[in-house]
Amino acid sequence: MKLFHIVGARPNFMKVAPVLNALKGRENVVQTLVHTGQHYDVNMSDVFFQQLGIPAPDVNLAVGSGTHAKQTAEIMIRLEPVVLERQPDLVLVYGDVNSTVATVLVCAKLGVQVGHVEAGLRSFDRTMPEEINRLVTDQLADLLFTPSEDGDENLRREGIPAEKIFRVGNVMIDSLVRLLPLARKTGRDDLPERYALVTLHRPANVDDSATLKGILESLLEVNRDLAVVFPAHPRTRKRIDDFGLSAGQLRVLDPLPYVDFLGLQSRATVVITDSGGIQEETTYLGVPCLTVRENTERPITVSMGTNVLVGRDPEKLRTELSRVLSGKAKKGTVPPLWDGHAGERIADILVGWPPRVKAAI
């Protein structure tokens, strides 16, 4: 079986590594790694590849940044001839980035099977570009690998046949489990013992000056009681500058490689974020997580984990932070199958999967 893996942004790298490794050495499986180049920070991408033990991509489409339409279209244009030339039996896509939906559109039109890793997640908020990507990808994919029961339920409700759905667990947790011992050995002498770790990058939070100003003011208030450590996404830092805002006394850092950031997460008193993956990682780590969003496509982190949705309500953020500091933080449990073996379960399914006869392309 000729198998393509398509990645384009940093969250994809943590998800592809366990599947690549689990399929390594499997009989009659030839793997090709295609990097769309959707993430423009090449140096940071290289560091992620090194830390996760991912081989250099076999193909780099070098698409770069752009609007959602431009980026998606450019990936489709550059990917199609690669698929035509190399004729994969199955293409795996990961998560909900533009590379994912662009790939499934190309492959569906060429009659090439697609497997979606991290299928079935829903925020039920179509103002989020990622939600559109998730909906389209899951309707067109042939194999849907879900991380949790809610993913199965969402897909069944949308009419996906049960035989296409496979609950395998969370591949991001595979990478976390493997690298956590190393991450716990990392440290920074310039940071306090107790701190709130912050990440912000969602357009709804950083692309409007009034919203971003309000969030920064809330974080500065947090900083009076608990030091705020803020590895700033390039998009967020640019918006702060563009809007003439100030991060004040917050400890603003450059983006961090995966292992370094995981080390910071594991030691944090609380994490304040709008990231999906971090909601999952903090649930596994047992670290309180306050999510600056009105909804989440990972509700299991709220129902079972340590995650609390605070929206953009400064009062709710203060209340939940007070609970953390007084030792009354929400206690969570690790969801089923978040055990570090999701990649192996995917590999077992793929090796036994009979590819259909491809259409002439």
The pLDDT value recorded for residue 227 is 96
Residue 216 belongs to domain spanning? 181-325
186 located within any domain: yes
If asked whether residues 25 and 165 sit together in one domain, one would say yes
Q: Are residues 110 and 196 in the same domain?
A: no
DSSP codes joined into one string, 250-317? SEEE----HHHHHHHHHH-SEEEE--HHHHHHHHHHT--EEE-SS--S-THHHHTSSEEE-TT-HHHH
Distance CA 342, CA 148 (A): 11
User: pLDDT of 241-299, one tens digit each?
Assistant: 999 999 999 999 998 999 999 999 999 999 999 999 999 999 999 999 999 999 999 99
Residue 150 lies in a domain: yes
Q: Is the pLDDT of residue 40 over 70?
A: no
Q: Is residue 20 part of a domain?
A: yes
Q: Using the predicted structure, report yes or no on whether residue 139 has a pLDDT greater than 80.
A: yes
Question: Does a structural domain hold residue 331?
Answer: no
**319: pLDDT strictly greater than 70:** yes
Residues 123 and 195 in one domain: no
One domain, residues 193 and 293: yes
Same domain, yes or no: 21 and 132: yes
In this structure, the answer to whether residues 151 and 7 fall within a common structural domain is yes
The predicted pLDDT at position 39 comes to: 72
CATH number at residue 57: 3.40.50.2000
Residue 93 lies in a domain: yes
Instruction: Label residue 342 by pLDDT band (50, 70, 90).
Output: very high
Q: Is there a single domain that holds both residue 150 and residue 235? A: no
**Amino acid of residue 200:** L
Mean pLDDT across 208-225: 93
Residues 103 and 196 in one domain: no
Sign of the Cα pseudo-torsion (293, 296, 298, 301, in order):
positive
Q: Is the pLDDT of residue 358 over 60?
A: no
Q: Are residues 83 and 151 in the same domain?
A: yes
In a domain, residue 143? The reply is yes
Do 154 and 188 fall within a single domain? Answer: no
Q: Which residues are catalytic?
A: 201
- Cα gap 77→100, rounded to integer Å: 14
pTM: 0.94
CA–CA distance, 192 with 226 (Å, rounded to integer)? 9
**pLDDT (0 to 100) of residue 38:** 83
Rounded distance between C-alpha atoms, residue 3 and residue 33, angstroms? 9
Q: If DSSP codes are grouped into helix, strand and coil, which group holds residue 173?
A: helix
Could you tell me if 138 and 236 lie in one domain? Answer: no
Mean pLDDT, rounded, for 154-171 = 98
Domain membership of residue 330 (yes or no) is no
Number of domains in the chain: 2
User: How far apart (Å, rounded) are the C-alpha atoms in residues 265 and 270?
Assistant: 8
Give the pLDDT mean for 162-180.
97
Within-domain flag for 50? yes
CA distance 8 to 72: 11
Q: Are 240 and 217 in contact (CB under 8 A)?
A: no
Same domain, 166 and 255: no
